[in-house]
Every structure is written in structure tokens, then in C-alpha cells.
Homo-oligomer: A and B are copies of this chain.
Amino acid sequence: TRLFISDSSGVSNSGESSKESSRCSTPVLDADRTDRLRDKMKRRIESGDRWFSLEFFPPRTAPGAVNLISRFDRMGSGGPLFIDVTWHPAGDPGSDKETSSMMIASTAVNYCGLESVLHLTCCNQTKEKITAHLNKAKRLGLKNIMALRGDPIGKDWVEEDGGFNYATDLVKHIRCEFDDYFDICVAGYPTGHPEAESYEDDLRHLKEKVDAGAHFIITQLFFRAETFLKFVKDCRAIGITCPILPGIFPIQGYHSLRQLVKLSKLEVPEEIMQVIEPIKDNDAAIRNYGIQQAVEMCKVLLASGEVPGLHFYTLNREVATMEVLRQLGLWAEDPRRPLPWAVSAHPKRKVEDVRPIFWASRPKSYIYRTQDWDDFPNGRWGNSSSPAFGELTDYYLFYLKSKSPKEALLQMWGEELMNEESVYEVFTNYITSQTNRNGHKVMCLPWNDDPLAPETNLLKDELEKVNRRGVLTINSQPNINGKPSSDPIVGWGPAGGYVFQKAYLEFFTSSENVTALLQVLKKYEPRVNYHIVNVQGRNTTNAHDMQPNAVTWGIFPGREIIQPTVVDPVSFMYWKDEAFALWIEQWAKLYEDESPSRMIIQYIHDNYFLVNLVDNDFPLDSCLWQVIEDMFTLLDSPPETQKD
């Protein structure tokens, strides 16, 4: 903990601006959420914490984009300081296509919460076009640019007057047009740029780029640690002081290596070729060698004291890079979560620290539907009647569609449904992660694209029991009465704190069940709050119609209380539209029009209710299972008893 010394005269001065100030809170965020990339690097360098970063290229197809985005989520969990996305002039990189560099980088920032660097090349581009790209990047929440010259089109490229002939021109342009807005990265060539007159000449160019306003350097790949260390020494010698990150390329296969060498005009050292040539047809052997070679080289680099972080050329693959990082001890198996949900990296959203619980399994959908908000709730949910949620449009469905192809979904959810009970079985199999009668595991549901979260696993037995009987659960959390914030399953937030939860359960169920449930819930007033709604929007609740209920909160040393998850009555009505729509969009449409299977799903969609329950008495064992039990008891009892 740092020691702050201030004196009171400063305090008195700061008081003067009171009249303009709103009492609304400006939360003090963790530096990790507010700092610019350059400052994060600075802090890591000062503290001696090594980092890593990951480079990806944009996918060629829409399914490829869906895959890459889930790869961002998986690789993001290892704790990269940033990722970067390359720029392919031939692929319409600045467009709104799902596969464009711009859109992929924007998705990484906004939906995956990753600090991201967008590459940008300038040759054969007009200033106007470049400025338009930068404006768009800024609008999308991107804060970092890797400024590159790019490869000229055609062999006979000549310098253009007034155009961009060097990356330096681009760096200057960014600084000139956008002042200090972007953090800028430039490329360094440990063996000199292939087109440079000499290694020394190339170093001078690099110095110019940095002097023009770049904040850090990422190098081209290399194969020997000493190549990079000499390069750093030479850079320092001519006065380049910014961070220089080595580009690490774990060899992943014979052909990709050959391809890369050709493009980059690099020479693979003899000692490597000697190992690889004999095993060139054994992919696994080459990858293992590549991992071992990268680990050895990285160890030398890190031990040198000259390397604050490692940059990985992933080639959009996971295994090799993750393995290298694991062996180096840099992969954060259990990254500390600042909040219980993934924080978006968009600069406008960084104050956000409250969300409705409903989108817990669909955070990207929540971000998409609230992307037009001008400000985000912090401290508390606020006046929930005001925000507009985005409509359920086709485009929005792109990022939100299941990762699994139709065939896989049919295998999991049934080629043919017999009746409502077939649906109950799908839910039950998802909970138990057992194989269904056709031998397939149910790995996802329309409301949950991933297997059960570890936290939900705590409730597995109870969930199985109720799903079997037609209480089709789509969201739940156990009550927590003050577990350490470091708890591996339910912990989040700064160290030394305590986290709390109220038990929550959300499910679809038939109108018969709802009638009994409402009867039972009277006994649980005011301990249990409920909202019950059908697809037409008829809503029955015992909660205040404007007051959100905080269901997750944390108490931390030296801070105000953080309450990141609420059950909010107004946004529940927006969620309801989405939750019901998923029955049709993701499930019913798998089947032919008019088919019995489709009609069963349609019937559930039209007739079932969506219910959420909160047990407010968080220090006691959750009573929600007893509520459901009581509902079934009432349903099973003779009719005269039911009229009580």
C-alpha cells in the first residue's frame, strides 16, 4: 500500500467547484480498468511483473469469426496484457463485415473485455481514408494502433509525394490528427527490415518512428535470443527508451514455418532446420519441438532483464502458445476477476459496475443491447425505467448464435421431440452432463452456450431434481454469506474482501405450476421476491416496480461497497423478450415448419411462464428449493386442499 501525503490547503481549493459538480459518483476504479496501455506497461515494468500479449489475424468466414471470438474468451482467461489484430488491406479491413480487422478488434474490446491493438497499414492509402479508419476505431472504443507501412502493391512501388511512404508518416499523422488519444506501437526488425539499406539504417528509421510519437515496439519474429538482445542493446545505444517487446513464434508445423519464412524473408537457423527436417511430416513432434524451443528462448529473454513482456504470434491457434505460457508460468490459471462478470474494455463502459443478473450467461448480448447507452450504471443500478435496450435484430443474432452447428444441436436437443417431457429431459441432461438416449452429451442450451459454471455446479443435485419435473432452469446462483474475495469459485474483486450473494433461481414452467407457485409464495413473504411473466408480458410480482434487488455484492478494504448484480424489474421485461425468443430462434427453427417437434417448442413458448425467485435471507440456507417442493406438494394434493 502506498503512503499518500497531502495537505489541507489543497483540499480547501478543490472545494470551490462544488456548484457545478453533481453528487453522482465518479467511482475510483482500479488502475487496471482505467490506465492506458502505456501506463499499464509502465506499472508492470516498475513492479517487475512480466506480461504476455497475443497476435491474431482476422478470419476469412463468418463461422471463423464465431470461433475466433470464443478463442478470445478462452485465451483472454489466461490474462494477456493485450491482444492485437492484423490489418489485411485486401480483406476490406475497415469495413463493418463480421470478418474485418476493425470488427474483430472491436469485438475483442467491447465483448471480450480485452485490451486490443488494431494494426493499420498506410501505403497506397489516402490521408482521408486513414483518418476515416482512425475515427471509426475511436468510435468503436479502440485506443491502441500498431502503425505499419504495409506491403506495397506490386513490385514497382515508388514513393508518393504527400502520401504515406513510411510508418513514421502514419505515426505523425495519428499524433497530428488525434493528439494523444491513441497509444501507438511500431514494428522493430531484430535483423533489420528486408528492404532497409542496412541494419544501422533500419535502426535509425525505428528511432524516427519512436521520436514521431510511438509508445512501444513489437519486433518481428526471430529464432535466437541473442538476436533480440543485441537489437535491444543497439536500440538503447541510439536513444530508444520505450518498451521493446520480442515477437515470439512457436514453430507449429513445417509448412507454416516455410510460409512465414518466405513472407518475412527471414532465415531459419541451421540448428533448427536440422531438427525439423527429419520430422517434417510429424506435426505433433514439430509442435512439441516448437514449444520446447520457444520456452528455452523465452527463458533466456526473461532472465536477461531486458524483456518486460513477450508477444506471441499465435497464427490463431491456441495449444502451442498456451503451453509455452504455462511452462513459463505466465498463464494465469485463475485470473482475479475485478467483478463477477467480464468487464468490457470500451473506454466509455469502464465505469460500469452494475448489471442485471438476467444476462449472466449472455454477456455479449447485454453489451450489444446496451451499446447505445451514453453512460453506464455504477455504484447502483439507478433509475431503471429510463434506459432503452436495443431490439432483437438479425445482426445482433450473429454474435449471439450458438457456437455449435445445427447438426450438433439436433444431436443434443433431439432430432425429434415427443412431448414436453422430451424437453425436460434435455434440460436435465444439460444439468447432469450425462449422455442422452442417443449417446450425446448436452453441452449447451439456447440460454447457456457453455457447460454449467463451477458455481452453478454447487446446485447440481437440486437443479436436476426440479428440471426433471418441468421446472426448466436457465439461471441460478447459490447464496453466499461472506466468502473471501479470493475464493476460487465465487470470489471476485480486490484481495482481502468478502463476497456475498442472495440465492437466485430463474426458470420456465407451465401455467399450472405457476398457479400453485403463486399460492405457495404467499407463505414466503417478504423473504422471497418473485417476478412471473409470460410471453405476452403479463407480469406478476411482489417486488417494488422500480426498485432493483442487489443479489451479489462485495465488501473490500478501504472502499465503498460494490454491488455488481441486481434483479431489476424493468430490465427483466426486456430480458423476457429475449429469453422467449431463444425458444423459437435457436430451438424451434431447427425443425421443419408444422413438424410435431416444432409445435412442442412453440407450445412451450406460447404457454409457459418465465419465473425468477430471490431469497432475501442470504445468511440462511436457500429456501427456494423448498418453495418448489411446496409447489409440487400442492399440485399433488387433492383438489379441496388446493383451494386453501
Of A373, A382, A570, chain B has the most CB atoms within 10 Å of the CB of: A382
Query: Given known contacts A5-B540, A18-B373, A23-B376, is B616 in contact with A496 (CB within 8 Å)?
Result: yes
A557–B526 contact, CB under 8 A? yes
User: Does residue A377 face the partner (Cβ distance < 8 Å to B)?
Assistant: yes
A541–B3 contact, CB under 8 A? yes
User: Does residue A274 face the partner (Cβ distance < 8 Å to B)?
Assistant: no
Of A6, A16, A26, A28, chain B has the most CB atoms within 10 Å of the CB of: A6
Contact with B along A353-382 (1 / 0, CB 8 A): 000000000000000000011111111111
Of the residues B14, B19, B387, B556, contact of A21 by C-beta under 8 Å: B387
A541–B8 contact, CB under 8 A? no
Query: Given known contacts A26-B383, A544-B4, A570-B11, is B557 in contact with A561 (CB within 8 Å)?
Result: no
A382 neighbours in B (Cβ, 8 Å): 22-26, 379
A22 neighbours in B (Cβ, 8 Å): 24, 375, 382
User: Does residue A543 face the partner (Cβ distance < 8 Å to B)?
Assistant: yes
Q: For the complex, what is the distance from the CA of A538 to the CA of B577, rounded to whole Å?
A: 57
A7 neighbours in B (Cβ, 8 Å): 536-539
A27–B526 contact, CB under 8 A? no
User: Does residue A545 face the partner (Cβ distance < 8 Å to B)?
Assistant: yes
Query: Shortest beta-carbon distance, A598 to chain B, in Å?
Result: 25
Binding-face segment, A412-420, A433-441, A547-555:
A547-555
Query: Given known contacts A545-B4, A574-B11, is B380 in contact with A560 (CB within 8 Å)?
Result: yes
Query: Given known contacts A4-B543, A27-B380, is B563 in contact with A561 (CB within 8 Å)?
Result: yes
Q: For the complex, what is the distance from the CA of A445 to the CA of B603, rounded to whole Å?
A: 73
User: Does residue A329 face the partner (Cβ distance < 8 Å to B)?
Assistant: no
Which residue from chain B places its CB closest to the CB of A22 in the assembled complex?
B375
User: Does residue A542 face the partner (Cβ distance < 8 Å to B)?
Assistant: yes
The residues in A between 179 and 204 inclusive whose CB is less than 8 angstroms from any CB of B are: none
A560–B550 contact, CB under 8 A? yes
> What is the oligomeric copy number?
2
B541–A9 contact, CB under 8 A? no
User: Does residue A144 face the partner (Cβ distance < 8 Å to B)?
Assistant: no
User: Does residue A15 face the partner (Cβ distance < 8 Å to B)?
Assistant: yes
User: Does residue A111 face the partner (Cβ distance < 8 Å to B)?
Assistant: no
Q: For the complex, what is the distance from the CA of A558 to the CA of B537, rounded to whole Å?
A: 21
A18–B388 contact, CB under 8 A? yes
Query: Shortest beta-carbon distance, A21 to chain B, in Å?
Result: 3
Contact with B along A19-58 (1 / 0, CB 8 A): 1011111111000000000000000000000000000000
A386 neighbours in B (Cβ, 8 Å): 14-15, 17-18, 21
User: Does residue A566 face the partner (Cβ distance < 8 Å to B)?
Assistant: yes
User: Does residue A618 face the partner (Cβ distance < 8 Å to B)?
Assistant: yes
User: Does residue A559 face the partner (Cβ distance < 8 Å to B)?
Assistant: yes
Query: Shortest beta-carbon distance, A6 to chain B, in Å?
Result: 5
Q: For the complex, what is the distance from the CA of A418 to the CA of B559, rounded to whole Å?
A: 43
User: Does residue A593 face the partner (Cβ distance < 8 Å to B)?
Assistant: no
User: Does residue A458 face the partner (Cβ distance < 8 Å to B)?
Assistant: no
User: Does residue A70 face the partner (Cβ distance < 8 Å to B)?
Assistant: no
User: Does residue A242 face the partner (Cβ distance < 8 Å to B)?
Assistant: no
Contact with B along A515-552 (1 / 0, CB 8 A): 00000000001110100010011111111111111100
The 6 closest A-B pairs by CB, nearest first: A8-B537, A21-B386, A24-B24, A15-B388, A557-B616, A18-B388
Give A contacts to B, CB under 8 Å: 1-9, 11-12, 14-19, 21-28, 372-383, 385-389, 481-482, 495-496, 498, 500, 525-527, 529, 533, 536-550, 553, 555-561, 563, 566, 570, 573-574, 576-577, 614, 616-619
